[in-house]
Amino acid sequence: MIVTRSWLNEFLDLKGVTTEKICETLNAIGLEVDSMQRISVPGGVVVGKILSCQKHPDADKLNICQVDLGSETKQIVCGAKNVAEGQIIAAATVGADLGNGFVIKEAKLRGVDSHGMICGSSEIGLPKLGDGIWVLDESIGALELGRELSSYPLVNDDVIEIELTANRGDCLSVYGVARDLSSALDIPLKAVTYPQSAGEELDCKIYHDSQDSALIYQEAAQELKEQALLDLRLGFVDNYDDDLRCRYLNYTIQATGVLLRAYHDSCQKIEVKPDLEGLESVYCDDKIISRIGINQSKEEKKNAVMIEASYINPDVVSKAVMGKSCEKDDLFYRSSRGSESDLMFGLDYLAKLTGSEKLPTAATKQQEKYATQIAITFAKINTFIGQNIAEEKVISILEKLRFKLQREEMGLSIDVPTFRHDIVNEQDIIEEIVRIVGIDNIRSAPFVLAEKMQMNDAYRSYKKRNHFRARAAAVGFFEAVHYFFDNRQRMEKYNMPVIPENLDVANPINNDLNTLRSTLLLHLLESSSTNLKHGKNAVALFEIGRVVNSKREEKQKIAFIFSGEANPPSLLNHGKPKAIDFLSFASKVTAVLGNIKVQQCQEENALINPYEYASIMIGDQVCGFIGRVHIDVERDFDLPATYICEVDFDALVYDNIIAKAYSKFPALSRDLSLLIPKEMKFSDIRDYLTGVLPDEVVRFYPIDIYHDNSLEEKVSLTVRFVLQSMSKTMDDQDITAIMDQILLLLKEKFSLEIR
């Protein structure tokens, strides 16, 4: 972004503020100055007037001009195509040094004396403004013949180039930069005024005005005059155009930040609606003339009869063009970073610039737009900054940045203008205050760390995961990690839940991983098979990971698999360890999961052998299953006897450890061999005794089951009871009393007797 000091001065009174101070302030508030250049016309270049212009008798491309230099008239031979009688021009007098060793001298051109040079803008150290000489007018100041151009402040300017970040589209205009300087320098913005004009009236109407976009169309002024200052400033900012109307539009856009376009045809009916690509487009008599903030139709603009002022939310337009091949023009750079939404500001500026009067109408009043509303307290501001900023200072800063403020009891309610779409939260507001106050003006203070309890759901989940990982590793399981994806055909083969195709993965990694997994077990079976084929005698794996149900709802599960030998070869097993069985596997899983119960399962799982299959319960909730892999599945994966378990991870209990007193006295065990009906389950006995046993019974569990013909329709179930007192060593009398009490309970409830 390029601005000049004199152009900034139109919006901000910079009297008494040096250019160095301006650059220093811009750097301090985050608008990094990339370069600053002082433009100065060489001495000896004065204002002159061409009194007459005649063709050179011996050269078709030369003209003999009589030039009034104020105190005298000089004859100057000029070869420019655009030289004409009556023009006010820049004339370099004899002796003027134009730089690079070029000094003006008396000369004869094809036999005709020439006493000076009529100059083009680039010949006197200014940007090139078209071909030929530079024609002056009153826009640069009152023209006095013979006065040196180096004395005109608007011509001899300081040009400042600013490097803007992508989020600061509000400063892609002279007015936007002036607005930031106004707050930083504590200088009020000037009310933009224009000289009264008796020019033509221009009709102006709002055709579209929503929260995210707006369009206003205005009749184009037909009489446009060349303006030396307008051309010069466009040259400074490298935006000069050969077409005069484009120069007026470019100047207004650079000055105000309002996006303007010109159209050759006038429209009878304007309609705003999405085009075939879904882009918000402007239709004029059923023909697309522009896509808001993106491009316009390729029409000639020289004799334009209509001016379009537009605004579109930068987030909306950036997302709209993403992935589309639509052509973009120069204004897309501004619209995608944020432009001025007060369209009447730009149209007023253009109308007065052209010497026209916009026709007043109620239809040109836009609705006020604000990007968001943020509430913040003064205490929050001061705490965050670490320094008290006076409330009046905070209010002054934000008001000069054009935020709309409403005083609240403890702070402010702030409406953020649309041109600051990058302001979305309290921290952004505080950052605005800090950059205007100046980071160097914030006093250093030691950092005070008052750490608070950081326990939250995420941390507790992390700790729980690590807890069960450590327990699984301690039992001998190795952790496995697999993709969240699986093969849909394989899952359907084993009757695993699959998600509907309309919810499935749109672009799978490959054909083998073409859907989301609903179980961890298929990957574990595959990994076990691979490890066994590489020479392992046993494989014990576990995994904690996400799965989905048929509605694509995610949950976390923990799964185990054990395949092969239950223990490594040793002297104890004579080098021939037994294969893993249900009880050994269940014991290992219980050591990891803690206090769980198993019960007969009613549902069938395609992976499981129905004869060695149980549900896992935690409390009264069924949360998983355990069992042997079905023999057909073992054959598919080329596995020996293999056992698996899968449990909902969220159902596992992970609480803080609560210390309890333990007994200093020895524990004793007694066994009861009970005659029970064949159809009776141990779980019935367990569920009943759990709530009624004496406190001295620490735990109980089955250790043996026996049947022969003499028992007929009953079986012998041996249950071991572990007894321990907190106050004494139990003697035989105490133990007998407790065992008699247990027998009485069982007899009254189930009519059971000992064998």
45-87 pLDDT tens trace: 999 999 999 998 888 889 999 999 998 999 999 989 899 999 9
Residue 306 binned pLDDT confidence (cut-offs 50, 70, 90)? confident
CB 63 within 8 A of CB 54: yes
Beta strand 45-56 with 608-618 is: unpaired
CATH architecture, range 374-441? 2-Layer Sandwich (3.30)
Least reliable range by pLDDT among 38-42, 135-139, 161-165, 293-297? 293-297
Residues 530-546, mean pLDDT to the nearest whole number: 94
Give 504's strand partners.
none
pLDDT of residue 362: 46
User: Which burial class, exposed, middle or buried, applies to 161 when counting CB atoms under 10 A from its CB (0-12, 13-18, 19+)?
Assistant: middle
pLDDT of residue 152: 94
Residue 367: partners with Cβ closer than 8 Å, 6 or more residues away: 209
Amino acid occupying residue 353: L
> In the 8-state DSSP scheme, what is residue 265?
S
Is the model's pLDDT at 101 over the cut of 90?
Answer: no
Phi, psi of 458 (to 5 degrees): -65, -45
Residue with tokens 């069924």: 622
734/300: higher pLDDT: 734
Q: What is the mean pLDDT of the chain?
A: 89
Residues 489-502, mean pLDDT to the nearest whole number: 91
649/362: higher pLDDT: 649
Is the model's pLDDT at 268 over the cut of 70?
Answer: no
pLDDT of residue 359: 58
Residue 194: partners with Cβ closer than 8 Å, 6 or more residues away: 348, 349, 352, 353
Count of CB atoms situated within 10 Å of the CB of 704: 11
Residue 99 binned pLDDT confidence (cut-offs 50, 70, 90)? confident
Angle between helix 174-185 and helix 426-437 axes, rounded to 10 deg: 70
Residues 267-278, mean pLDDT to the nearest whole number: 78
> For the chain, how big is the Rg over CA atoms in Å?
44
CB 89 within 8 A of CB 67: yes
Is the model's pLDDT at 375 over the cut of 60?
Answer: yes
Residues 571-593, mean pLDDT to the nearest whole number: 89
pLDDT digits over 381-415, tens only?
Answer: 998 888 899 999 999 999 999 999 999 888 999 99
Residues 680-709, mean pLDDT to the nearest whole number: 89
pLDDT of residue 360: 54
pLDDT digits over 311-350, tens only?
Answer: 999 988 888 888 787 888 888 999 999 999 889 899 889 9
pLDDT digits over 696-711, tens only?
Answer: 999 898 999 888 888 8
Is the model's pLDDT at 517 over the cut of 90?
Answer: yes
Structure tokens, 660: 């309890």
Q: What is the CATH number of domain 45-156?
A: 2.40.50.140
The domains of the chain are located at: 2-39+159-169+175-185, 45-156, 197-364, 374-441, 458-651, 668-754
Interatomic CA distance for residues 92 and 699, integer angstroms: 112
Share of the chain above pLDDT 70, in %: 96
CATH architecture, range 668-754? 2-Layer Sandwich (3.30)
Burial 602-615 (b: 16+ CB within 10 A, else e): eeebebbbeebbbb
pTM of this structure = 0.63
pLDDT of residue 364: 60
Amino acid occupying residue 702: P
Instruction: Summarize the chain as % helix, strand, coil (round to 5).
Output: 30, 30, 40
pLDDT of residue 130: 86
Give strand ranges (E) for 112-258.
112-114, 117-118, 158-163, 201-202, 204-209, 213-219
pLDDT of residue 358: 66
pLDDT of residue 266: 66
683/300: higher pLDDT: 683
CATH architecture, range 197-364? 3-Layer(bba) Sandwich (3.50)
| Identical fold, 2-39+159-169+175-185 and 374-441 | yes
Q: What is the CATH number of domain 2-39+159-169+175-185?
A: 3.30.56.10
Interatomic CA distance for residues 747 and 689, integer angstroms: 12
CB 522 within 8 A of CB 494: yes
Residues 422-449, mean pLDDT to the nearest whole number: 88
82/222: higher pLDDT: 82
What's the topology of domain 458-651?
Answer: BirA Bifunctional Protein; domain 2 (3.30.930)
